[in-house]
Amino acid sequence: MLLRYWGGHSPCCEGCGWCWHLCSDPCVLPAVWVSEIMLQQTQVATVIDYYNRWMQKWPTLQALAEASLEEVNELWAGLGYYSRGKRLQEAARKVVSELAGQMPRTAEELQKLLPGVGRYTAGAIASISYGQATGVVDGNVIRVLCRLRCIGADPSSPPVIDRLWAMANALVDRSRPGDFNQALMELGATVCTPKAPLCGECPVKQHCRARLRVEKELALASQKLLGKLPPVPDVEDCGVGDCPLCPPAAEPWDSSLGVTNFPRKAAKKQPRVEQTATCVLERRGHRGALEYLIVQRPSSGLLAGLWEFPSVPLAPGLQQEQQREVLRDHLQAWTGQPVGVESLRFMGEVVHVFSHIHQTYVVYSLPLDGDVTLDLASSPSRWVTEEEFRASAVSTAMKKVLKVCERQHGEESGPAKGSKRKRGAKPGAGGSTRPGTQLSLRAFLRAPNPP
């Protein structure tokens, strides 16, 4: 099976990934690179399907280099942190066009030459794919090493980061660096876990200073109970002076935490709070199907190149009426048509937390009786059915926005407000007239009108 694949450059199995994992052909897209990028900030269970579809679609560097950002975003839709997919594709282009199709093979070159490849990803690709004896430091490795060496200072501080990388590079097995690195990460994921480490089953427990510290603390406590004087601290215990690796003096050892005193939790940066008004413009398209207007975001910055409902950032503290006016102005400037503030209907709010932004979308809808003139030069836009919307490169936040609108329309067309017909809806149909939504039960059971 592998030989067939290596000879033909096209997947010959059900997409288990082993061919891609093992193949060393320079033309083949390094599977470790793709999986490592996808696994940043995302769990394995979520990634598997995306990974398989990606590798089936773009098994070679050439194929990925020829893909458009639109295709990349469509495949990535729902995985979050969209710049990862964009940079992966940019890097493939760079390898093909500037590096004669040859992937860099050392951690230093990978990090230096490829967009989106940081120190960890570079170390993982170089050691697992190309056998370079270089270490890796991810969240799991940080936890294991901090416990092994009782490092209690903030693990995101430069002295601690430097020490952890130095330790990882010193420890890595020269003959099987890829296996060693994966084993170390697996140890952190399955044995030396964040809250309930299985120290009794740990293969490196004899070398673990956190475990030793726990034993010493227990011995000390029992000596105190027996009224004996505490021994003079061992210099190896550290915790005194200005050591950049030790816990701060203000944060004493918590005996109830045991080895989980390490690593110390890094201070979390609060995401900034933002508000955006977003408008779901609707019209009846061909054959009466409901259609929505979506526009494409700029090709750089947050959610680059993705499609969304027309949106505009809001200044903090605006009242609902002021928000409508901001949105109205934005839509007027963009469509070149007058938009009445009163025709913007408030649908609800959607909160979506990006890595660094706590974003609230204030959702409005605007049903239109006909098409609008679009200023295509300023931002690409198109009308899509619900099905096309879901297949497009749209963010999870925008899917939530549409859900809020659909829920609101569903409530309006339900039994309590069944007589209220939405502007632009086709007259004559009982209950809900929107494709894709069911008739209300009352409308369904209503006796037919007498002839």
Residues serving a catalytic function are 36
Contact 21, 32 (CB under 8 A): yes
Among 126, 210, 344, 366, binds ligand SF4 (CB under 6 A): 210
Q: Is 176 one of the binding residues for ligand SF4 (CB under 6 A)?
A: no
Nearer to ligand SF4, 124 or 259 (CB): 259
Site for ligand SF4 contains 199 (CB under 6 A): yes
Q: How far is the CB of 197 from ligand SF4 (least distance, A)?
A: 4
Contact flag: residue 191 with ligand SF4 (CB under 6 A):
yes
Alpha-carbon distance of 40 to 356, in angstroms, equals 15
Cα 294 to Cα 308: distance, rounded to the nearest angstrom: 5
Going from the C-alpha of 99 to that of each of 27, 72, 102, 201, the distances in angstroms are 12, 22, 6, 47
Return the residue of 259, 303, 314, 347 that touches ligand SF4, per CB under 6 A: 259
Q: Do residues 364 and 324 lie in contact, with contact meaning Cβ atoms separated by under 8 Å?
A: yes
Q: State which residue, 200 or 428, has the beta carbon closest to ligand SF4.
A: 200
What DSSP state is assigned to residue 102? P
- Which residue, 181 or 440, is less far from ligand SF4 as judged by CB? 181
Residues 96, 42: Cα–Cα separation, whole Å: 28
CB closer to ligand SF4, 192 vs 374: 192
Q: Which of residues 89-148 bind ligand SF4 (CB under 6 A)?
A: 144, 147-148
Are β-strands 357-367 and 345-353 bridged in parallel, bridged antiparallel, or unpaired? antiparallel
How far is it, in rounded angstroms, from Cα 3 to Cα 70? Answer: 33
- Which residue in 87, 93, 119, 205 binds ligand SF4 (CB under 6 A)? 205
> Which residue number, 209 or 345, has a Cβ lying nearer to ligand SF4?
209
Count of residues of this chain found to bind ligand SF4 when the rule CB under 6 A is applied: 14
Best CA proximity match to 348, nearest among 393, 394, 410 = 410
Binds ligand SF4 (CB under 6 A): choice among 204, 245, 302, 304: 204
Q: Cα(177)–Cα(428) distance, rounded to whole angstroms?
A: 71
User: Residue 368, interface with ligand SF4 (CB under 6 A)?
Assistant: no
- Candidates 77, 208, 281, 397: give the one binding ligand SF4 (CB under 6 A): 208
Q: In which region does residue 9 sit, left (phi positive, over 0), alpha (psi from -120 to 50) or beta (all else)? A: left
| Euclidean distance between CA atoms 142 and 155, whole angstroms | 7
Q: Is residue 443 within the footprint of ligand SF4 (CB under 6 A)?
A: no
Note whether 224 and 216 are within 8 A (CB). no
**Which window, 207-215, 285-293, 295-303, 368-376, contacts ligand SF4 (CB under 6 A)?**
207-215
| Burial (Cβ within 10 Å: 0-12, 13-18, ≥19) of residue 343 | middle
Rounded least distance, CB 150 to ligand SF4, Å: 10
| Rounded least distance, CB 108 to ligand SF4, Å | 29
Stretch of 189-197, 224-232, 311-319, 327-335 lying at the interface with ligand SF4 (CB under 6 A): 189-197
202 touching ligand SF4, by CB under 6 A: yes
The alpha helices in 172-208, defined as continuous H runs, are: 177-190
Binding site for ligand SF4 (CB under 6 A): 144, 147-148, 191-192, 197, 199, 202, 204-205, 208, 210-211, 259
